[in-house]
Structure 1
Amino acid sequence: MVLCQYDEVSAFRRVVAYAPQGVTGLSIGAVSGVFAPSGVFDLRPGLPAFDMTICTRRPGILRTDGGLTLQVEHGLDAFTAAELIMVLPGTGFREEPTDRVLDALRAAYRRGAIVAGHCVGSFLLAAAGLLDGLDATTHWQYADEMAATYPTVTVRPDALYIDHGRVSTGAGATAGIDLSLHLVRVHHGAAVANRIARDLVTPPHRAGGQAQYLDTPVPSAGDDKRLDDVLTWARANLGQRPSVDQLAARAMMSRRTFLRRFKQATGTSPHAWLIAQRLNQAEELLETTDLSVEQIAHHVGYTSGAVLREQFIQRRGVPPRDYRRTFLRRQL
């Protein structure tokens, strides 16, 4: 769910990650990987140089969930210059947050900062009242607890992330990377998000409505390899408009088995996955080429530019030409 218009969003650079005591090491790695500051990775020439700061309630020693200790130099004063605040999950999320933390978060939001939390970091956003009347998500294991604790929030345990424009929430663990890449995609464009994802060797885009987890057994290694090959082929041949039957044949599976294994592997249906891939590729082509909307439509597998425009407006909130104008302007 994305409620912001692309021509209304700003291209943030100053990112602050709020780390509570007991912060998960995985979440620190996730935000540091996506919002790597200039000079950290030599493999990112030409990408935005994020100014990322990790802060905690009080400067000093911060202990992670794995028992490691970190020396953190910044306190809540870091919020005052932040354009994006990522609230990270920690083991003490059930403890009553201090008024000082809540007031700092509310003040940053009122000032215009984007605020996002993933996993149990979403609890802090709810405690600050920033999720009142909104849909939100968190780690599926704690969704019922969040719903009971904050009844004014509609908790959706099935979503990877939910973006309301100025406030966003994400699910647990690696969904922090998904949420971070989504925010980069919205504010800096698909080409930037895709390059960062390639550096991290992670999928460039998983839709926010994709399932957090699956109860069914995972496919065997052989099935995984065949499905990976099929997905790679489909991304490279969207213009051929591959059907489910064609994909199943390439995977050497019956249609029924393919649909089941595809859902197990991706958390979504082939139809939904293909739509997402078409729009992702269309975004990057709009940003990086001068192809017409009609040409891009046929390149990614739509029958006409009108169909692409309809899908783009429905799922991205703006026409393709407005999207292109926004991100071309930011590259100047």
Structure 2
Amino acid sequence: MPVIAVLALDGVPGHELTGPGMCFGTAARLHPHVAYELRYCTAPGFRGTGAPAPFAIDTPWDLDGLADADTVLLPGHAAFRDEPDPGVTDALRAAADRGVRIGAFGTGTFTLAATGLLDGRRAATGRQYAAEMARRHPLIDVDPEGAVVDADPFHSASGVLGGLDLCLHLITLDHGTPVAIETERQVFMQLHEPADAEETTGPAAPPAGTRHSLRPTIRWLEAHLGHPLTLSDIADHAGLTVRGLNRRFRAETGLSPLQYLLRVRVQAAQRLLERGDEAVERIAVRTGFGTPANLRHHFQHHTGTGPRVYRTAFRSLVATLTWAEGKNAEAAEPEGPGGTDGGRT
């Protein structure tokens, strides 16, 4: 069973610490073939979490818990501008030397950057801290938007909602898009289960390299969502008959081709609603639904709410958590010219 070690430094925002547990736990609960061991490991000096809901944790794991982990996750924390504890730096570098996958989100990327492991790579942090990271670590190509950055074996993203995007990205790499889609629905909005149980719990897309895999066709399909794709179009790309395509999609994803296409279109609409201000009419066209009415119908069926309500709820939740995260960071801001720079020398 893959081991994911979440490294908690003092003052980690509570939602960033609990988010990975919700995400990976939900994926395992919904899909019997998905399994993770999640460890919460505390760093030297850890006392408890920060805003928005401070709490203490009791865990048997410290930095030694990283020694045999397959993935290490580094959330943000209050003193992210300070030089990391030498034990933290050594543990992260040792993990990198073993080829362990390391993910950082929010201000946790500052700590990973201070180890030198991100030099010459692209990385992301909380959007409000991107310019500061670029100044402190000029050898890192900082993504100003905070989107998920895959610089294998290092992965980084913005920290709002506990690194949800990063966790979903890792789940996609491990178990495929269908598992990530269903996990996102259940974790983020706690929405209704779809009526079709097979759609919910069907197996994920196969790992890369599987013989006769549909993965190239799936990537092509996901890149052409705005086109009026038909079963024949998808079958032609895969070099299969329509009957063979249906059989292979069921075997590899647990969904029919059109069910899979619909799921991915809904997920794309969610992303556009979350990250931009485009009109619903434009989103309907971009995601292949064509009309707002068609988008609303399928969006309601798959998420339990309408596109505009979804956007409003998402913005409200993000605003609340971003405010709390910002207040926590302000409290840790060093005062006066004598404050610690935290940059690596």
How much is the aligned-residue C-alpha RMSD, in angstroms? 3.8
Give the direction of change, closer, same or farther, for the CA distance of 1:78–1:173 in structure 2 (3 Å limit): same
3-state SS in 2 of match to 1:125: helix
Residues in 2 aligned to 1:247 and 1:139: alpha-carbon distance in whole angstroms: 32
Match of 2:32 in 1: 46
3-state SS in 2 of match to 1:17: strand
Quote the offset at 1:67 in angstroms: 3.1
Can you list the C-alpha shifts for 1:3-39, whole angstroms capped at 9, x where unaligned? xxxxxxxxx721000111001111112101112289x
Quote the offset at 1:248 in angstroms: 8.9
Can you list the C-alpha shifts for 1:308-331, whole angstroms capped at 9, x where unaligned? xxxxxxxxxxxxxxxxxxxxxxxx
Choose from 55, 59, 64 the match for 2:50. 64
TM-score of the pair, normalised by structure 2: 0.56
Can you list the C-alpha shifts for 1:128-167, whole angstroms capped at 9, x where unaligned? 1111011111111111111111111111111411011200
Choose from 92, 96, 104 the match for 1:117. 104
Quote the offset at 1:206 in angstroms: 6.7
Residues in 2 aligned to 1:180 and 1:33: alpha-carbon distance in whole angstroms: 10
The letter for the 2-side match of 1:113 is V
Structure 2 residue 163 is the aligned partner of structure 1 residue 176: yes
TM-score of the pair, normalised by structure 1: 0.58
Structure 2 residue 61 is the aligned partner of structure 1 residue 74: yes
3-state SS in 2 of match to 1:15: strand
Residues in 1 aligned to 2:98 and 2:135: alpha-carbon distance in whole angstroms: 30
Match of 2:120 in 1: 133
3-state SS in 2 of match to 1:158: coil
Give the direction of change, closer, same or farther, for the CA distance of 1:118–1:30 in structure 2 (3 Å limit): same
Residues in 2 aligned to 1:242 and 1:102: alpha-carbon distance in whole angstroms: 48
Residues in 1 aligned to 2:8 and 2:294: alpha-carbon distance in whole angstroms: 48
Residues in 1 aligned to 2:125 and 2:268: alpha-carbon distance in whole angstroms: 16
The letter for the 2-side match of 1:33 is M
Give the direction of change, closer, same or farther, for the CA distance of 1:107–1:210 in structure 2 (3 Å limit): farther
Is the 1:16–1:53 Cα contact (8 Å) retained in structure 2?
yes
Structure 2 residue 19 is the aligned partner of structure 1 residue 30: yes
Is the 2:14–2:54 Cα contact (8 Å) retained in structure 1?
no
Percent of residue pairs bearing the same amino acid type = 28
- Number of aligned pairs? 224
Quote the offset at 1:191 in angstroms: 2.3
Give the direction of change, closer, same or farther, for the CA distance of 1:210–1:73 in structure 2 (3 Å limit): farther
Choose from 81, 98, 101 the match for 2:88. 101
Match of 1:142 in 2: 129
Structure 2 residue 139 is the aligned partner of structure 1 residue 152: yes
Quote the offset at 1:69 in angstroms: 1.8
Q: Matches of residues 271-286 of structure 1 in structure 2 within 5 Å?
A: none
Match of 2:7 in 1: 18
Is the 1:37–1:50 Cα contact (8 Å) retained in structure 2?
no
Give the direction of change, closer, same or farther, for the CA distance of 1:13–1:82 in structure 2 (3 Å limit): same
3-state SS in 2 of match to 1:169: strand
Give the direction of change, closer, same or farther, for the CA distance of 1:80–1:139 in structure 2 (3 Å limit): same
Is the 1:158–1:212 Cα contact (8 Å) retained in structure 2?
no
Quote the offset at 1:99 in angstroms: 1.6
Can you list the C-alpha shifts for 1:230-280, whole angstroms capped at 9, x where unaligned? 97x889xx7xx545xx449978xxxxxxxxx99xx59xxxxxxxxxxxxxx
Can you list the C-alpha shifts for 1:74-98, whole angstroms capped at 9, x where unaligned? 1100111110111011111011112
Match of 1:187 in 2: 174
3-state SS in 1 of match to 2:58: strand
